[in-house]
Amino acid sequence: SLTVPLLGVTVLLDSPIDPQPISLKEPPLLQGVLEPNVKLRQAERLWENQLVGPESIVHIGDVLFTGTADGKIIKIEDGEIQTVARIGHGPCGTREDEPTCGRPLGIRVGPNNTLFVADAYYGLYEVNPGTGETKMLVSTKTLIEGQKLSFVNDLTVTRDGRKIYFTDSSSKWQRRDYLFLVMEGTDDGRHLLEYDTVTREVKVLMVGLRFPNGVQLSPAEDFVLVQETTMARIRRYYVSGLMKGGADIFVENMPGLPDNIRLSSSGGYWVAMAAVRPNPGFSWLDFLSEKPSIKRMLFKLLSQETVTKFMPKYSLVVELSETGAYRRSFHDPNGMTVAYVSEAHEHDGYLYLGSFRSPFICRLNLQHV
């Protein structure tokens, strides 16, 4: 007696998303260097319940810096946590607060030991870690080729500090609606932008990707790698040399949805997976990719937070070679120790694992795995 009225009400409800069908290849088999293991469970949790979603991590010497979900840029020196700066203002803590609170995502160290920070809601900033002074470089309020930035995500900086390459993940959704962005599957991301710190000019280098996310310059600084999260792949854009202005696929059909990417000491790249596509196994992401009607119905009935709770807590970090081949992988199949990993940052023989949700940073001794 309740089924028919419930279905009728559901049909009348508007869906917050208008998803596109996406065709993904069958996920790669988790075998060889991708064989499941529990190596991430060897990591230790640091500063547990003292941090809120430390997304991205950098070091200046032995001092660690990160940005947190409560809008702060913090430093940890000799185990002591201090707030360096904040770009937004309180209150913080709820989904509704994010646009004013701010959300520091990608963070990098410049040649003069200043911090370059990508805030999802405010734009690109340079932060003096000693004084806490913040300098706006690119505001989300500024029109860039006729359009404002909506979801500034990650950045990578040349060694001389002249060029900053960064991603704007969507022209429609903000960071607080990242799950809508993944599920909708639209190609409205402005892929890659370039900011010149001398001329202060911003150029749009590439458009039309599905959730452009983490970015990393190659060691030779001839290309930039960009994670195309929704498509489970990494794109390559050439910024110098004979191929300048061209683009291709660096890694196709990955075993998960890539988040941030950082250099490894071996000359390759660390890639953190925001979600995993198990094979063998069942992947919700792949199942839903070509079923927009189910996705519409899902978000008519459930909130993003509720849907997130049903997502498997499988943590995965892979190391790629300089050519994009898989070198090794670290797993935590149930997210028992490491959960919601967003970045893998290597420093002094350790792999520091950032997270967009967890209340801690994890540290893995690379000599023991």
Whole-number Å distance between alpha carbons of 70 and 359: 11
Asked if residue 2 has pLDDT above 90, the reply is no
Question: Which residues are registered as beta bridge partners of 57?
Answer: 66
> Tell me, what's the pLDDT at 186?
83
> Tell me, what's the pLDDT at 159?
97
Amino acid, res. 306 = T
How far is the first Cα of the chain from the last one, in angstroms, to the nearest whole number? 58
Asked if residue 12 has pLDDT above 80, the reply is no
> Tell me, what's the pLDDT at 202?
97
Whole-number Å distance between alpha carbons of 71 and 87: 7
List the structure tokens of 241.
């040399």
The single residue listed with the structure tokens 């596509």 is 277
Asked if residue 6 has pLDDT above 70, the reply is no
Q: CB burial class (10 A; 0-12, 13-18, 19+) of residue 141?
A: exposed
Is the peptide bond prior to 255 cis by the omega test (within 30 degrees of 0)?
Answer: no
Whole-number Å distance between alpha carbons of 245 and 37: 40
The whole-number average pLDDT for the span 186-196 is 86
The single residue listed with the structure tokens 């683009």 is 247
**What pLDDT digit, counting tens, does each position of 123-148 carry?**
999 999 999 999 999 999 999 999 99
**Which band of pLDDT confidence, cut at 50, 70 and 90, is reported for residue 189?**
low
9 versus 16: the higher-pLDDT residue is 16
**Which band of pLDDT confidence, cut at 50, 70 and 90, is reported for residue 10?**
low
Beta strands in 212-292 (DSSP E): 212-217, 223-228, 233-238, 247-251, 256-263, 269-276
Taking alpha carbons only, the member of 161, 140, 162 closest to residue 152 is: 140
> Tell me, what's the pLDDT at 7?
52
SS3 183: helix
**What pLDDT digit, counting tens, does each position of 28-68 carry?**
999 999 999 999 999 999 999 999 999 999 999 999 999 99
**What pLDDT digit, counting tens, does each position of 226-255 carry?**
999 999 999 999 999 999 999 999 999 999
**Is-contact 72 86, C-beta < 8 A?**
yes
Query: Rounded to the nearest 5 degrees, what angle is found at the Cα of 276, between the Cα atoms of 274 and 277?
Result: 140
List the structure tokens of 223.
């290309």
**Which band of pLDDT confidence, cut at 50, 70 and 90, is reported for residue 8?**
low
**Is-contact 327 33, C-beta < 8 A?**
yes
Asked if residue 3 has pLDDT above 90, the reply is no
The single residue listed with the structure tokens 């913080």 is 92
**What pLDDT digit, counting tens, does each position of 249-308 carry?**
999 999 999 999 999 999 999 999 999 999 999 999 999 999 999 999 999 999 999 998
**Is-contact 186 210, C-beta < 8 A?**
yes
- Domains of the chain with bracketed CATH: 2-365 (2.120.10.30)
Average pLDDT of the chain is 94
Asked if residue 336 has pLDDT above 80, the reply is yes
**DSSP codes of every residue in 152-170:** EEEEEE-TTS-EEEEEE--
Cβ burial 212-240 (10 Å sphere, 16+ → b, else e): bbbbbbbeeeebbbbbbbbbbbbbbbbbe
Question: Which residues are registered as beta bridge partners of 73?
Answer: 67, 85
Whole-number Å distance between alpha carbons of 177 and 171: 12
The whole-number average pLDDT for the span 189-217 is 94
The whole-number average pLDDT for the span 300-319 is 92
